[in-house]
Amino acid sequence: MIRNLFKTTSIIMLLLLAKSGFAQQKTFTNPLLPSGADPWVIYKDGFYYYTNSTGHNLVLWKTKDITQLKTAVKKTIWTPPAGTNYSKELWAPELHFIKGKWYMYFAADDGNNNNHRIYVIENPSADPLEGDWTFKGQVGDETNKWAIDVSVFENKGQLYMLWAGWEGDVNVQQNIYIAKMKDPFTIDGQRVKVSSPQYDWEKYGDLGAQSNPPHVNVNEGPEILVHKDKLFLIYSASGCWTDYYALGMLTASKNSNLLDPTSWKKSTQPVFKQSPQNSVYAPGHNSFFKSPDGTEDWILYHANSQPGQGCGNERSPRAQKFSWNKDGSPNFGVPLKETDLLQAPSSK
């Protein structure tokens, strides 16, 4: 009997070790989906909720494993009514959970890019794929200028909104703006410009002599990454229609006045850029997430697999783990090959 008990215990231990080893060896390859620009993900209550630009509606994916988006539950949560200022060109949606409710922010227009503005919908359901989404209207400052690529974040109890916009009414250059928020759908006070294209690597933007305008300098896609006592504003620089689309970084202290442009220090070089040797071009418009066990930091971004593919449907979402430098800043490394077998995010 003791011998049988020992044998049974040994078998159980071997099965547990095998299961543990299998879990540790779980791998994936990029891209996560064949197509999907401006990828965004948020993790809550054991699930990842993912979205990307579709152009005509707002769609959510729900999964416990972000590397398995191809088989995830997928639902269209909102389609705009026809004939409005926000019926077309829905770009860069982001899902946020704020004070017990879900909010999805997005940019949209009436078919004319000059009319792009930021909008938000709200859902009080615990699961954003369930319940009813209510259109809350436009979110913007009093200037009501062109605006895309919205993101929101909280620092020291204050909610802020970030976005990419024009200084005036003409498409000359895209800057990054910040403003305080009174609530998830109301700006409180004036917008403040914290970044404009400054370095050569931020100024690849030729559209051709026949275009109007023929060239645009771009800062867009702002995202906040928090680490210890610092805020890192990671943004996309140069035109997405170029292979030089890359990520730049601004750094500020959590304790600084975030509405003071001098609080933000810009890095002189991109922190993530194309890797022709790895066949990854125009990587950008990212978001961040933690592994399910909270021990790993990951970047989610879109990129092209070949040069010259521009801002179309060839852009696909990719994920890779990143580390931290000794000074506390993120180290994203280089975009990895599609053939690279990557360890999946660490599970609980």
Site of tokens 């990557």? 342
- What is the C-alpha separation between 13 and 35, in angstroms, rounded? 43
> DSSP labels for 313-344?
TT-EEEEEEEEE-TTS-EE---PPPTT--EEP
Q: Which of 271, 276, 217, 222 is nearest to 246 (CA)?
A: 271
- What is the C-alpha separation between 159 and 156, in angstroms, rounded? 9
- What is the C-alpha separation between 189 and 178, in angstroms, rounded? 10
- Exposed e or buried b per residue across 121-148, where buried means at least 16 C-beta atoms within 10 angstroms of its C-beta: bbbeeeebbeeebeebeebbbeeebbbb
Q: How far apart are the first and last CA of the chain?
A: 36
Residue-level length of the chain? 348
| Residue 347 DSSP symbol | P
Helical (H) or strand (E) element with 14: helix 2-24
Cα 269 to Cα 202, 265, 319, distances in angstroms: 9, 12, 22
**Catalytic positions, written as ranges:** 38, 220
Q: Which two tokens stand for residue 326?
A: 């000794």
Yes or no: say if 67 and 78 are a contact pair by the CB < 8 Å rule.
no
Site of tokens 């008990």? 5
Q: Which two tokens stand for residue 139?
A: 């979110």
Yes or no: say if 145 and 167 are a contact pair by the CB < 8 Å rule.
yes
- Exposed e or buried b per residue across 169-186, where buried means at least 16 C-beta atoms within 10 angstroms of its C-beta: eeeebbbbbbbbbeebbe
Yes or no: say if 252 and 261 are a contact pair by the CB < 8 Å rule.
no
For the beta carbon of residue 208, count every other beta carbon within 10 angstroms: 9
